[in-house]
Chains A and B, each alone.
Chain A
Amino acid sequence: MKLNRRRFLELSAASVGAIAYTGHARALRAPWAVPKKWHEGEVRTVYSFCENCFWKCGISVKVEGGKVRKIDGQKQNPKSRGRLCPRGQAGVAQLYDPDRLKRPLIRIEGSKRGEGKYREASWEEALDYVAERMLKIKERYGPEAVAWFGHGSGDSWFVEYLPAAWGSPNAAKPAVSICTAPRETASQWTFGRPIGGHEPVDWTESRYIVLIGHHIGEDTHNTQLQDFSEALRRGARLVVVDPRFSTAASKAHRWLPIKPGTDLALLLAWIHVLIKEDLYDREYVKKYTVGFEELAVHSNKHTPEWAEKITEIPAETIRAVAREMAAAKPRAVLPPGRHTVWYGDDTQRMRAVYILNALLGNYGVPGGFYLAKPPYLEKYPHPAFPLEPAAGGCSGSSGGGEEVPEGYKPRADKGKFFAKTTAIQELIEPMLSGEPYPIRGLVCYGTNLFHSIPNVPRTKEALGKLDLYVAIDVLPQEHVMWADVILPECTYLERYDDLVGIAHKTPFIELRQPAVEPLWDTKPGWWIARELGLRLGLEKYFPWKDIEEYLDTRLQAIGSSLEEMKQQGTLVQKGRPYLKDWERRRRNPFKTPSGKIELYSKTFAEHGLDPLPDYTPPMPVPSGFYRLLYGRSPVHSFAKTQNNWILMELDPENEVWIHRAEGKKLGLRHGEYVWLENDAGVREGPVRVRLTERIRKDCVYLVHGFGHKGRGLRIARGRGASDNALQTRYVLDPISGGAALRNNFVKVVPGAKRPKLERIARLVRERRI
């Protein structure tokens, strides 16, 4: 804490009184020992939305003495409703992290990518450097030879606005093919609607909830956790299907410890029981769906006895759950989950999930799924971009236009899979092989290349081949320190971003605005994008001078203004959540080819895909290995929060979960350090062993996001193990383009030493505001 004269006098006055009070005992302590608390000062509130995960909760940022002191949930915001998870609370620690990137850096001439040798540069020089090389690539190979990766709500400038203006279809987000692609693709071809980022499950109205690989409570999606808790309070029954006794399982009435990779068999058996025992919602199915006859015939073979052999869940339990959910219908729901790239048949698994929901008659009905509607918002009236933005997003939007305009190339991953979504992992290969055409440049905004995309050695090799690699980020993550040019962005608490519209029961728009000025020589993403755009000859797409003008124009167009939004942060509109709301207006929500929920997909059949989901066994576990499962900590967001001291004091490292009996067999002690080695020989760790009853014997589990190796991340570095490092294999989901990650196998190698690391409390000391 900075001690100025005024503050010193205040404190002295306070302590003089204290000395009179307690006599010489005071001498034991320095007179300024009891500092004033921030909340005794003058506190200003700024409304914005959070960026410590992707959920985008509205926040009230408390600023005192020119510093952000605390972040609370914004009461009027439909996402946070005044509450926040630990990551949202801890945003302050990222803002004041001394490890942040502070000024532009250019890799020293002659050094190799990954050596981490940099010199400081001015923004002018750094941006000129990037623009010059980008234009060279464009001249030689075409605009498509620059790929754009982005993650986070600031990424719109770098995966939508700029690439579309520049003319590259190769823009991608890990949020698609390493996360939601299967559930979104399946939803499009079953319901003709996206699931979308907010996941429109009508939790609180539901009476029976079945979670399959859905880690609520460990993934602290704020609103969802609030609604989930409320549903349980209101007496909803909960079934959790998971090879691991997750936090959600600890709240469940039934836990089904399924054999990993066999979920589809269980779902098919449930469909079988609902149909054979005539438990499905006949009226709903007749009115809103097509393909029931085909489904009924198809499901003949999927008896619970058949599923028992595959899933290791007793047939009687399968029947009982099917009957229970039928008894609660339509207020029984199987939520879609988020990270759905598991085994490679993921779109089909998600189709089965949706078919089950449809049989329960819950889609568009209270207690099932509500129909989320995006808010009304106008684009900034800039000249039309040559290409449509192609990156898509969690909501599985199209990923570019139908037709490729003349003079431009289709996306490099086109033809590898059925859907139009973008597969980020498929854009690495062209960097190496030059097929179908070369990708020679990469602009990477907030995407952790070494902690999200599978096969890290391949990614590193690809980075080595590029003509230009630019990283825009807040922290010196390991992959950032491979870039030719590093552009330091300021944090979400120091900047404006583009408006965010949330498809929801009550659609709403959120504003991000700065609570404090940017620290050091960091800049907001919009500024970086615009400055780069001007240097790339794209000035006609940037008719706005600054972000305030841009935002105000968009807001004025819908009858609001930037001034108004700054005061309220969130703008809520009316929704149309249930089928009856649509029918009253004689509108059809199902944008499928048939205009109905497609239990049977003709389109899939026409493309040589299974029109009805069927079970395919997952890759078998080689002997001596365990299947590597992974998940979330409620305290961390992927690999982006492990340098946050507040969060790291709460959860400093991950552990490898091994069943107690297996651990005994291997001679492992609880808490000892081991290495994990995958079947390709990649070794990762050291990581602590957690011997537990909470997991099946055929798999091990790691929380994702730990095991950082970036030298500049002084808190994160060397703590725990990275699941991504062990995911050298993925299976491409041929429908959605998703990279299925649960096809990696590890063995436990004992004998690792506890890593010698600075105590976190010590590292924290210098980080206090």
Chain B
Amino acid sequence: MARYAMIIDLAACVGCSACAAACVLENEAPPGHNRLWIRQRELGTFPDLTVEYRPEQCLHCEHPPCVPVCPTGASHQTEDGLVLVKAERCIACGACIAACPYDARFMNPAGYADKCTFCEHRVARGEDPACVETCPTGCRVFGDLDDPESPLHAWLERAERVDVLRPEMGTRPKLFYLNTPSKTGLHAPEREVES
């Protein structure tokens, strides 16, 4: 049993989208959808500026709101803490998509709810998820929170700041953002430009 988690160091991320492209190919996301996307926020005024590049995907919450709402048990949590969808059990009712506070799921036109799996097929082979493996900045790390040897711990310790998306939802995400450049954390301030 493991407790898989991912870290993205926003001090390093340049928003190049290599992770997103790797994900499309690895997981064959359908046209118009992606399991992984980049949000770009511009904060401050000239010349005192900050830009945050923030890749987003399923956070594999410890308390995933998408799981209890599933009427068929297709949406489930594995022993290793991955939140997954059994496509063949899914009836495409969309309840999980509505329940996810992070908008991390979409309806695959093939008829099932789709989302990031932390590349469980790769993890099972002992490899990193595709997004982690390809990242040129090395801003991502994947591992097992229960494993004291995992690099996750060193990354968390070294970080000046650790954030998760919308902690007030009580979902306990297992995707952590380190060193967000904005003083307001990951929260959206009044004015921001998204692209």
A residues neighboring B (CB under 8 Å) = 14-15, 17-18, 21-22, 25, 28-30, 33-35, 37-40, 69-73, 82-90, 92, 217-218, 220, 222, 225-226, 228-230, 232-233, 245, 247, 249-251, 255, 257, 634-635, 645-647, 649-651, 655, 659, 670, 690-694, 696, 759-762, 764-765, 767-768
Contact of B32 (CB < 8 Å), options: A17, A251, A761: A761
Listed stretches B13-21, B58-66, B160-168; interface member = B13-21
> Do B92 and A28 have beta carbons less than 8 Å apart?
yes
CB <8 Å contact, B112 and A33:
yes
Given the contacts A37-B28, A92-B25, A229-B138, A247 and B14 also touching, CB distance less than 8 Å: yes
Q: Is the CB of A247 within 8 A of B51?
A: yes
Task: Give the distance in Å from the alpha carbon of A696 to the alpha carbon of B17 in the complex.
Answer: 26
Contact A39 B136 (CB under 8 A): no
Which of these, B28, B134, B181, contacts A83 with CB under 8 Å? B134
The one of A69, A71, A250 in contact with B51, judged by C-beta atoms closer than 8 angstroms, is: A250
Q: Which B residues, 29 to 47, have Cβ-Cβ distances below 8 Å to chain A?
A: 30-32, 34, 42, 44-47
Please tell me the size bucket of the interface on B: 35 or more
Q: Are the CB atoms of A34 and B87 closer together than 8 Å?
A: yes
Q: A226-B137, A634-B17, A693-B44 are in contact. Are A18 and B12 (CB under 8 A)?
A: no
8 smallest beta-carbon distances between A and B, as pairs = A761-B32, A217-B14, A764-B31, A29-B111, A634-B16, A18-B88, A86-B21, A89-B21
A634 contact from B12, B14, B22, B32, Cβ within 8 A: B14
Is B49 in contact with A245, judged by CB distance below 8 angstroms? yes
For the complex formed, measure the closest distance between the CB of B46 and the CB atoms of chain A, giving whole angstroms: 4
CA distance A648 to B18 in the complex (A): 13
Residue of B nearest to A223 (CB): B136
Residues of A within 8 A of B137 (CB): 225-226, 228-229
A251 touches B11 (CB 8 A): yes
Q: Which residue of B lies closest to A62 (CB)?
A: B25
Q: Among the listed B32, B44, B53, B112, which residue makes an inter-chain contact with A34, where contact means beta carbons less than 8 Å apart?
A: B112
| Contact B134–A768 (Cβ < 8 Å) | no
Q: Give A644's nearest chain B residue, CB to CB.
A: B21
B150 at the interface (CB under 8 A from A): no
A257 surroundings in chain B (CB, below 8 A): 46-47
Could you say which of A21, A71, A86 contacts B88, with CB atoms under 8 Å apart? Answer: A21
Chain A CB within 8 A of B50 CB:
yes
| Residue B135 CB within 8 A of the other chain | yes
Q: Which one of A21, A72, A247, A647 lies within 8 Å of B134 (CB-CB)?
A: A72
B110 & A35 in contact (Cβ 8 Å cutoff):
yes
Contacts of A759 in B (CB 8 A): 32
* Inter-chain contacts of B2 with A (CB < 8 A): none
Given A22-B72, A257-B47, A650-B21: A220 touches B92 (CB 8 Å cut-off)? no
Neighbouring B residues of A645 by C-beta, 8 Å: 31
| A670 to B193 Cα, complex, angstroms | 9
Q: Is the CB of A89 within 8 A of B134?
A: yes
Give the contacting residue for B16; candidates A82, A233, A255, A635; CB below 8 A.
A635
Note all chain A residues with C-beta closer than 8 A to B135. Answer: 83
Other 6 A-B pairs with CB < 8 A, given A229-B136, A233-B12, A247-B15: A18-B88, A29-B111, A92-B25, A245-B47, A634-B14, A655-B195
B26 at the interface (CB under 8 A from A): yes
**CA of A229 to CA of B139 in the docked complex: distance in angstroms?**
8
Query: B136 and A84: CB pair below 8 A?
Result: yes
Contact yes or no, A85 B18, CB < 8 A: yes
Q: Which residues of B contact A691 (CB under 8 A)?
A: 193
Minimum distance in angstroms from A496 CB to a CB of chain B? 24
11 contacts between A and B (CB under 8 A): A18-B88, A38-B28, A82-B133, A90-B21, A92-B25, A247-B51, A634-B14, A646-B25, A650-B20, A760-B31, A768-B31
B69 to chain A, nearest CB (A): 16
- Closest Cβ of chain A to B71, distance in Å, is 9
**Nearest CB of A to B174, in Å:** 23
Residues in A with CB closer than 8 Å to B53 are: 247, 250
Asked whether any CB of chain A lies closer than 8 Å to the CB of B186, the reply is no
Question: A236 → chain B, closest Cβ, in Å?
Answer: 12
In the complex, which residues of chain B have a beta carbon less than 8 angstroms from the beta carbon of A634? 14-18
Nearest CB of chain A from residue B23's CB, rounded to whole Å: 9
A18 and B89: CB pair below 8 A? yes
Q: Are B111 and A37 in contact (CB under 8 A)?
A: no
Q: With both chains docked as a complex, state the minimum distance between the C-beta of A574 and any C-beta of chain B, in angstroms.
A: 26
B16: chain A residues within 8 A (beta carbon): 85-86, 217, 220, 225, 634-635
A22–B72 alpha-carbon span in the complex (Å): 8
Least CB distance from A764 to B in Å reads 4
Contacts of A646 in B (CB 8 A): 21, 24-25
Measured between C-beta atoms, what is the minimum distance from B44 to chain A in Å?
Answer: 7
Q: In the docked arrangement, what's the CA distance between A60 and B24, Å?
A: 17
Neighbouring B residues of A82 by C-beta, 8 Å: 133
Q: B195 — which chain A residues lie within 8 A by C-beta?
A: 655, 690
Q: A71 to B110, alpha carbons, bound, how many Å? A: 25
Distance (Å) between the CB of B121 and the closest chain A CB? 6
Q: How far apart are the CA atoms of A218 and B31 in the complex, in Å?
A: 25
**Contacting pair B22 A635 (CB below 8 A):** no
Chain B positions within 8 Å of A217 at CB level: 14-16
Q: Does B78 contact A (CB under 8 A)?
A: no
**Measured between alpha carbons, how far is A84 from B12 in the docked complex, in Å?**
16
Docked CA distance A22–B86 (Å): 11
Residue with the greatest number of chain B CB neighbours at <10 A, chosen from A14, A22, A28, A218: A22
Interface string of B124-162 (1 = CB under 8 A from A): 000000100111111100000000000000000000000
B136 contacts A25, CB within 8 Å? no
* C-alpha spacing A229/B135, complex, angstroms: 11
Of residues 85 through 127 on chain B, the ones whose CB sits less than 8 Å from some CB of chain A are 87-89, 91-92, 110-112, 121-122
Distance of A73 Cα from B136 Cα, bound (Å): 10
